[in-house]
Amino acid sequence: MMPKSQRGAVLIMVLWTAVVLTVLVTVLATNIRLGATTALRHKEGVSNYADIMTAMNQAEMELMLERMPLPLDEEPVLNDWGEVRMSTYRFNGQPLSLHYPAPENMVVRIYDHAGKINLNRIEVRRLQQIIETRLGPDFDPRQVQELLAAWNDWTDLNELITPGGAEAEYYQTLDPPYTPRNSPDLESVDEILLIRGFAELFEGVNLEAAFTVYGNEAVVNPNMATREALMLLPGMEEELAEQIIAYRQHRDLRTMREVGALIPLENMVELSPWLGFTASSIYSVYVYPALETANAEQESQRTDEDISAVEDPVRQGYMQIMQVESFNQRARVRNVDPYAMLPDTAPPRAELPPGLLRVD
């Protein structure tokens, strides 16, 4: 018969063996579960990416179709007042139903850059107005002049320092150091943050939503303007911007007179030089998976107008900036950002005054 001391030792060894085996089995099960989860997520990611690129191609086709003449047997789209709506004005960020349908789980939003402020076509006088608008009514004129001088030194063709400005001597002292562009055309909207003082000036602004560096438009089309661009325009107030967004859901803004029905005269004096009604050939196309809803059947019955009236919680999407010149030529892709911040896609935050939509 085995002594008690030996039996105790065997029992301890058995217990330790059981503990080790339990740990090994737990680790193995965890690794298997992690591997399965990773494989599933990878499969979902590949599937989503394929759907995103399909939707992006369909959006490109939509922009090419926009440049085709309207078929003779196709009726134009009318609003509730019997007016023909400009189809190009739908490229204002609203979720779109495409002629060649995108995958059902994808949201497509297209922004015409005619609805943004063009940094490469902006006059110094207008840049000064934007600076003063950002600084507020109690702005310091010296700060305005320093910012304008820094802008001038960044975009001029020489190394001469404008009084109050900054050239390479200043930028080389930064960490990391860099040199000013010394060219009138910026390569991206984010470049403005490199200019002395402008990062603080535009802190909290979605620059990609408010500005563009593409195209030749020097004005902003209110039918396609982003909230971010509208709120930077002199004479604009938040409530007025929301009324413009609400109005254009029902009727197009075609003349300054129609804009003036929304904007008080004193504001229009500042605002009107900034506005125009042309479209461009440059577009930001955003595609992203739609969030799943609790009632899929009810969701499938919603119209585009219903969808536009609900705030979208998604804040990022796959984005391409593309230039579309004709219906028989593929788009030229100018920029790609897989994790781009969306412009403010919320529905109008203000209601129109009664009777404003009437036809005179």
Q: Any idea what DSSP says for residue 173?
A: T
High-pLDDT (> 70) share of the chain, %: 88
102: Cα separation from own chain's centroid = 19
Helix axes 124-135, 141-155, angle to 10 degrees: 140
Q: How many domains is the chain built from?
A: 1
Mean pLDDT of 85-103: 94
pLDDT, tens only, 193-220: 999 999 999 999 999 999 999 999 999 9
Place of tokens 């059902």: 104
Sign of CA dihedral 80, 86, 88, 91: negative
The whole-number pLDDT of residue 294 equals 44
Q: In the predicted model, what is the mean pLDDT of the chain?
A: 88
**Closest C-alpha among 54, 59, 66 to residue 327:** 66
The whole-number pLDDT of residue 26 equals 81
High-pLDDT (> 90) share of the chain, %: 72
Stronger pLDDT, 44 or 151, i.e. the higher one: 151
* Cβ neighbours around 329 below 10 Å, total: 10
Does some domain include residue 338? yes
Whether the ω angle into residue 176 lies within 30 degrees of 0, i.e. cis, is yes
272: Cα separation from own chain's centroid = 24
Three-class SS state of 83: coil
Does some domain include residue 203? no
Does some domain include residue 125? no
Does some domain include residue 177? no
pLDDT, tens only, 118-146: 999 999 999 999 999 999 999 999 999 99
Query: Which residues form the domain of 238?
Result: 8-116+220-360
**Where is 117: in which H helix or E strand?**
strand 117-118
Does some domain include residue 289? yes
Radius of gyration of the chain (CA): 28
Judged against a pLDDT cut of 50, whether residue 295 lies above it is answered with no
Mean pLDDT of 155-160: 94
Does some domain include residue 172? no
Judged against a pLDDT cut of 90, whether residue 12 lies above it is answered with no
Please, which pLDDT band fits residue 11 given cuts at 50, 70 and 90? confident
Does some domain include residue 150? no
Three-class SS state of 335: strand
pLDDT, tens only, 314-355: 999 999 999 999 999 999 999 999 999 999 999 999 888 777
Stronger pLDDT, 22 or 66, i.e. the higher one: 66
Does some domain include residue 341? yes
114: Cα separation from own chain's centroid = 14
CB 242 within 8 A of CB 337: no
